[in-house]
Each structure stands twice: as structure tokens, then as C-alpha cells.
Amino acid sequence: MITVATLLGLEHSGTTLLVRMLAAHSKAVAIGGLKNFAAFAYGNRACSCGGTPDTCVFWSSVFREIRSKGNDPHILAALLAAHRQNPESARDAARILVEAISVTSGASLIVDASRDPTWSKLLRYSPSINVVPIHIFKTPMAQLASAKRKQRSLCAEIRKYHLRSRRCRAETSHSPSSITLAYDTLCSAPEASLTRIMDAVGLLLEPTQATNWGVKPLHMIGGNRMKSSTSSKVERDERWSKLLSGFEIALARLGGGATFALNERESRRETRSRERRVIKLGPSGNVRD
Ligand SMILES: [Zn+2]
């Protein structure tokens, strides 16, 4: 069984930080987003190393592995791109791709950062794949401040915050091992947050994950580029209080407050349900489903 952690949420909601923390585990590999595979295969997007399917050391091996099984990476890319028209073929393509990544990397955990739940859903139907959806979210104020920095429409951002959160919660509800995590919780208690996630994916937390996650070179397709750092710092996103006007803060609270509360409620529900399983199975019991 291959375990894939699918990171869900909005752009600038902390997914890139979480990817790096998870990928710092010696048995994990981060692939960027499955949603970007088609663009990468056709040369429209690069790997985070700057490479192409021919020049990236990781992805050129994955492409060779796909071909060795009699499949064509470009056909897989086309099937993934046409997931709306033909979801069944896209599911097969996603499974073949994930299996090739698993063989090439030898990793026990594959981390996908597509953010959009559509891609998590595609993998969910494969019996050989254990999908662990991880929904990470910021406060509506922090999310709105990101939008303002990027000069995006604030009203559109609030709407997206609401709609994407709802779809993420629907996706996490399908998995008993799913994780819903506030970005501020990850920053204030990185070890406890990561322990919770690593338990859900069936691995033990390694010390480097919370403290030195910036050093491992990654081959992520289409992800945000984050500079490598040897002194990894995690900070709560509180810049919003300086960036947003009083009116914008009120807009964030009014438009996104209820959504934030629902996300938090889901996180608490998961924690309670996990505690119940630990009590039922005992401290040495397997709570990983
Ligand atoms: Zn690369």
C-alpha cells in the first residue's frame, strides 16, 4: 500500500511550509502537485530544481519507470488533464503515476500539494493507495492579507476561502485518518502538529522535520519556490494587522469568521475521534486505520 498525503487548502495558506516539513522525513518524497503534471510533461512548467522531464534527476527516472511498464507519460498527462471529462481514466493515470513515483523514490510517503481536493479525490478510488487528506487553513484575516499583497480581489478571496474550505472539509470527511490543521497551530506547536500528521500516515516523527526542514533538495512540479535555508524558522502570520484596514478586517471577520470556525470545529472533532481510538485500542494500539 502506498500512502499519499494530499495537502488541501488555498494558495498561501501554509501548504509550502507543511510540504517541506513532511518531506524532511527520510522516508518521504514531495512531488509538488499532481495537478501540474500535464504542464510539466508538456514542458510548460519546470521542476523546482529548474529541470525538465529530460534533465531533472528525479523526474527523468520516474518517466523511465513509467515507460518501462509500457505506459506513455504524455498519455498519462493528457488523461489527467481531461479528468473532468473522463474521471475513470484519470484515476487510472494517477494510480500509474503514483506507483512509478513510489518505485523510483523508494519512499513510504508521497506528499502531493495540489491543494485542490479534486486531485485527492482521484487517488481515493485506487485500492493500492492510502490517501491521507491534510487540510491546512489560515485565519480569514491572514488569508485576506496574502490576497492584498498579491493585489488580488479581497471579495473574491473571501468567497474562495469559503468555497475551498467547504470542499476540503468534504474531502477530509471521507478519510478516518484525515487531518485538519490551523496554520497558527502548526507554527505555535510544530512538533505536536507534525506528530499528529506522521501518526496518521504511519511514520514516526524525525527530529529534523520540525527544526531543520529547509535543507533537503526537493523536486516539486509547479510548487512555490521557497529558498533553502539551514536555519529554518516558523513564524505565525500576524502581519495582517499592519496590512489590512479596519474595514478590511471587518470584512474578513464577517465573510470568513464562520468558515474559520467550521474548520476549527472539524479539527477538534478529529482530535476527539483519535483520542477515542487510542483509548479503545490502548496506547500501543494501531490508530492509523
Ligand atoms: Zn527536479
pLDDT (tens digit, 0 to 9) for every residue of the chain, 289 residues total? 999 999 999 988 989 899 999 999 999 999 999 999 999 999 999 999 999 999 999 999 999 999 999 999 999 999 999 999 999 999 999 999 999 999 999 999 999 999 999 999 999 999 999 999 999 999 999 999 999 999 999 999 999 999 999 999 999 998 989 999 999 999 999 999 999 999 999 999 998 898 888 888 899 998 655 555 544 567 777 788 889 999 999 999 999 999 999 999 999 999 888 888 877 766 554 544 4
Q: What is the pLDDT of residue 271?
A: 87
Q: Could you tell me the distance, in angstroms and rounded to a whole number, from the CA of residue 122 to the centre of ligand 1?
A: 24
Q: How far is the CA of 54 from the centre of ligand 1 (A)?
A: 10
Whole-number Å distance, alpha carbon 105 to ligand 1 midpoint, is 13
Q: In angstroms, what is the span from residue 95 Cα to ligand 1's centroid?
A: 21
Cα-to-centroid distance, 60 and ligand 1 (Å): 9
Domains plus CATH for the chain? 2-281 (3.40.50.300)
pLDDT at residue 180, as a whole number: 97
Instruction: Give residue 284 CA to ligand 1 midpoint distance, Å.
Output: 39
pLDDT at position 282:
63
Question: How many angstroms does the Cα of residue 48 sit away from the middle of ligand 1?
Answer: 6
Provide the terminal-to-terminal Cα distance of the chain, rounded to the nearest Å: 12
In the three-class reduction of DSSP (H, G, I as helix; E, B as strand; rest coil), residue 56 is classed as: coil
What local confidence, expressed as pLDDT, does residue 224 receive?
Answer: 56
Cβ neighbours of 72 (radius 10 Å): 12
Q: How far is the CA of 218 from the centre of ligand 1 (A)?
A: 7
Model confidence pLDDT, tens digit, residues 111-144: 999 999 999 999 999 999 999 999 999 999 999 9
Q: Compute the distance between CA of residue 41 and CA of residue 81 in angstroms, rounded to an integer.
A: 11
Q: Please give the pLDDT value at position 12.
A: 87
Q: Give the pLDDT of residue 284.
A: 52
- Please report the pLDDT score of residue 222 as a whole number: 80
How close is the Cα of 165 to the center of ligand 1, in Å? 31
C-alpha 153 to ligand 1 mean position (Å): 33
Q: Quote the strand ranges of the chain, DSSP E.
A: 2-8, 28-30, 109-115, 129-137, 179-182
Give the distance (Å) from ligand 1 centre to CA of residue 207: 25
Q: How far is the CA of 131 from the centre of ligand 1 (A)?
A: 24
CA dist., res. 23 & res. 31, Å (int) = 9
pLDDT at 288: 44
Cell of 71: 505506459
Question: Sign of dihedral through CA atoms 161, 163, 168, 170?
Answer: positive
Cα 118 from Cα 141, distance rounded (Å): 26
Sign of the CA dihedral with 86 first, then 92, 113, and 221 last: negative
The cell 478590511 sits on which residue? 248
> Which phi and psi angles does 230 have, rounded to 5°?
-95, -15
Q: What is the pLDDT of residue 233?
A: 62
CA 111 to centroid of ligand 1, rounded, Å? 15
- CA separation for the pair 9, 120 (Å, rounded): 12
Contact assessment for residue 37 and residue 53, using Cβ atoms and an 8 Å cutoff: no
Say what the pTM is: 0.91
Q: What is the pLDDT of residue 283?
A: 55
Question: Which strand ranges, in their side-by-side order, compose the sheet holding 28-30?
Answer: 28-30, 109-115, 2-8, 129-137, 179-182
